[in-house]
Structure 1
Amino acid sequence: MANPTTVARGRDSSPSPGRRRNDRAARASGLPVWSIPYVLLIPGLVVIAGLLLYPMVQLGIMAFQKVGLAQIRGTRPAEWVGLDNFDKVLSNDIFWSALRNTVAFAFVAVSLTLIVGTAVGVLLHRLGRKMSLFVVIGCMFAWAVPPVAQGVIWRSLFDAESGIINWALNLVPTWLLSPPDGQESWSGTPWLNDTIPLYIALVVCVVWAGFPFIAVSVLAGLKGIPAELYEAARVDGSGAWRTFRKITLPLLKPVFAVLTILSIIWDFKVFSQLYVLMNGPTNRDGFNLSMYAVAEAFKPPQKLGTGAAISVVLTIILLIITVVYVRQIVKQEEM
């Protein structure tokens, strides 16, 4: 008579149905089992290489060439100029002004987007299911608006003559907020002509369109935190702010890390909204790096090599920021 323990071990050591199917698929394809996941990734990698890697390589090559209208038409080959494009860019005062605008805008926009998105996410978590769903749908409408449409909406709102912003500011008592010097009211205030008011409008536009994604991501993270932790905090007499600092923030740190990186990348590359608000590359003092690259590349005389060099510099800056930030996150996790 067979030993029951031996029979049980024999049953436990038998391969699972899923593993047997994988083994049959591997034998049918003639490939080892470990290679099947990598083979399945090949089509996606080919698409990514075609859509992202190849253009990036071409952009890097173009950054070391002189490419103008003659080269675009094909009447003259591109001339290899080495680092001349980068020398021209880095020695131009407009580049440093655009870099300053880019960094300052990204810092303010990322901070406000994370703060507003987190506050809305916490609010959604405390609302009832139906009301939370209603607010989420309303917020996602703003996030779903295309960037060009975002610029059109906020350009109309900040219009000097018929914009709602100036109309609303006129309702504020003058002792609380007075109009600019030399004006009796806010009507006619050209928000989009000067650099600082232009970037105030851009920050409002980007935060309005970006906070819903942050809010929904934070809400998803809050759903994964056990309710028992908050119950214990309430029993101990912990307030709302202390509970957020001691429980919510540490547990959502991985979520905030990803959201911060994504927000930095998105806000450093803002172009469409600024282009619409500025009505094209007209105000050089208001350029960011993306607008500066487009202006150099496509405004007559076309200098695609210089525009490519600016894009490469912007990419390197984003890579440095991302690597430094990720390393800090890894060090904190190890500690």
Structure 2
Amino acid sequence: MSAADTTTPAKVPLPRQAPPPPGAAATARTRPRPSRRGAAVPWLLLAPCLVTLVLVMGYPLVRLVTLSFQTFGQSQLWGFQPAEWVGLRNFRTVLGDGEFWAVVLRTVVFAAGCVVATMVLGMAVALLQQRVSRWLRTLVNIVLVASWGMPVIVATTVFKWLFDSDYGVLNALLSKVPGVHMSGHNWFASGPQGLAVIMLLVVWGAVPFVVITLSAGLTQVPKELEEAARLDGAGSWGVFRHVTLPILKPVVVMLTTLSVIWDMGVFPQVFVMRGGHPEPEFQVLNTYSYDRAFVVNDYAQGSAIALITVLLLLGVVAVYMRQMLRIGEVE
């Protein structure tokens, strides 16, 4: 072996790393580390709200589910007989009743009409507000908030007086039109006509919230995009369809879903408008559930109908969540 082979190999120097930027070490030392205590703070702040929801909504929901699987009437209410577990018998009875499906169809049609009218009218008013002066926009907002803040019972009583057959203002005004004779006309003589009046009441109470929310959303639409669309030859409808509506889609989806939930859960408008005794052609799901529970005194079937209504609304919520997740993925 030669002398060259016995020499110690030279060490290759490692490449020098670039020095950290000034202040990086101090930043690394001062960066706060997440702690268990910090992670628990949001839950501690939410605890009062969660406890309130459990106390206010938890027990009634559990009781509702329990009653729907039992036989529970006046005898069980007063303690003369114990409640008996009957499994799915109440649900089979309800789902096998043709009257129930008629009520479901009436509720869906009623809610769909209210939602479409509310969204179309609310969008129209919100768009018109963008074209008027500031003082007129402020005046309209004040009127909207005032009507929105009116209690439902008060608004229903006012509408009941407006459409009264003998002393109603609407009949008196329509009778002044040449060739129109509406004196003594009963708007609630037929189900469709009476439900149209109640639908008008529901839309009147829901439009303010939709208008205010959409007006806030319209302020986030970039004016540059609208001007660019107009320069490309788009008209007012084209600007709304291709620029305004896509930006407002999350707000529109949210408002539509909330409107469906609220309008399918209508109760006081129908109940008060019909004097506490809605006729069969005016029954919707909530009033039908109330009628079965507190008029027929079959609390078990009333609970089953209410639980079915909750499941239907959960389906609407599931569709809403799916749409919102898709919107989030696109963004």
Measured against the shorter chain, the TM-score band is 0.7 to 0.9
Give the TM-score taking structure 1 as reference length: 0.86
Alignment equivalent of 1:271, drawn from 267, 271, 275: 267
Q: Which residue of 2 aligns with 1:127?
A: 132
Q: Which residue of 1 aligns with 2:225?
A: 229
Q: Gaps spanning 5+ residues in structure 2: where?
A: 1-17
Q: Which residue of 2 aligns with 1:296?
A: 292
Answering whether residue 246 of structure 2 is matched by residue 250 of structure 1, we say yes
Q: 1:224 and 1:324 mapped to 2: Cα distance?
A: 25
Q: 2:28 and 2:97 mapped to 1: Cα distance?
A: 70
Q: 1:77 and 1:144 mapped to 2: Cα distance?
A: 45
Q: 1:82 and 1:189 mapped to 2: Cα distance?
A: 49
Cα 1:6–1:93 shift into 2, 3 Å: closer
Code of the aligned partner of 2:25: G
Answering whether residue 68 of structure 2 is matched by residue 58 of structure 1, we say no
More displaced stretch, 322-331 vs 137-146: 322-331
For 1:85-234, list aligned pairs within 5 A: 85-174=90-179, 185-234=181-230
Code of the aligned partner of 2:291: A
Q: Deviations over 1:203-238 (max 9, x none)?
A: 110111100100000001011122222222333342
Alignment equivalent of 1:13, drawn from 2, 24, 28: 28
Cα 1:278–1:256 shift into 2, 3 Å: same
How big is the shift at 1:73? Answer: 2.5
Code of the aligned partner of 1:8: G
Q: Deviations over 1:57-86 (max 9, x none)?
A: 111111111222232223332222222211
Q: Which residue of 1 aligns with 2:38?
A: 33
The higher radius of gyration belongs to 2
How big is the shift at 1:48? Answer: 1.1
Cα 1:251–1:282 shift into 2, 3 Å: closer
How big is the shift at 1:5? Answer: 5.7
Secondary structure at the aligned position of 2:30 is classed as: coil
Q: Which residue of 2 aligns with 1:306?
A: 301
Q: Deviations over 1:122-160 (max 9, x none)?
A: 122232332212111101111112222221111111101
Code of the aligned partner of 2:229: A
Q: Which residue of 1 aligns with 2:4?
A: none
How big is the shift at 1:241? Answer: 1.4
Code of the aligned partner of 2:195: Y
Q: How many residues align?
A: 313
Q: Gaps spanning 5+ residues in structure 1: where?
A: 179-184
Contact 1:97/1:287 (<8 A) preserved: no
Contact 2:253/2:323 (<8 A) preserved: no
Answering whether residue 88 of structure 2 is matched by residue 83 of structure 1, we say yes
Contact 1:193/1:278 (<8 A) preserved: no
Cα 1:329–1:37 shift into 2, 3 Å: closer
Secondary structure at the aligned position of 1:13 is classed as: helix
Code of the aligned partner of 1:161: D
How big is the shift at 1:334? Answer: 4.6
More displaced stretch, 42-51 vs 230-239: 230-239
Code of the aligned partner of 2:126: G
Q: Which residue of 1 aligns with 2:76?
A: 71
How big is the shift at 1:251? Answer: 0.3
Q: Deviations over 1:22-42 (max 9, x none)?
A: x7xx6xxxx543233233322
Q: 2:41 and 2:317 mapped to 1: Cα distance?
A: 32
Contact 2:122/2:211 (<8 A) preserved: yes
Contact 2:70/2:87 (<8 A) preserved: yes
How big is the shift at 1:331? Answer: 4.4
Q: Which residue of 2 aligns with 1:48?
A: 53
Q: 2:53 and 2:324 mapped to 1: Cα distance?
A: 27
Code of the aligned partner of 2:30: P
What is the root-mean-square deviation of aligned Cα atoms in Å? 2.3
How big is the shift at 1:332? Answer: 6.3
Q: Which residue of 2 aligns with 1:240?
A: 236
How big is the shift at 1:192? Answer: 1.8
Secondary structure at the aligned position of 2:130 is classed as: helix
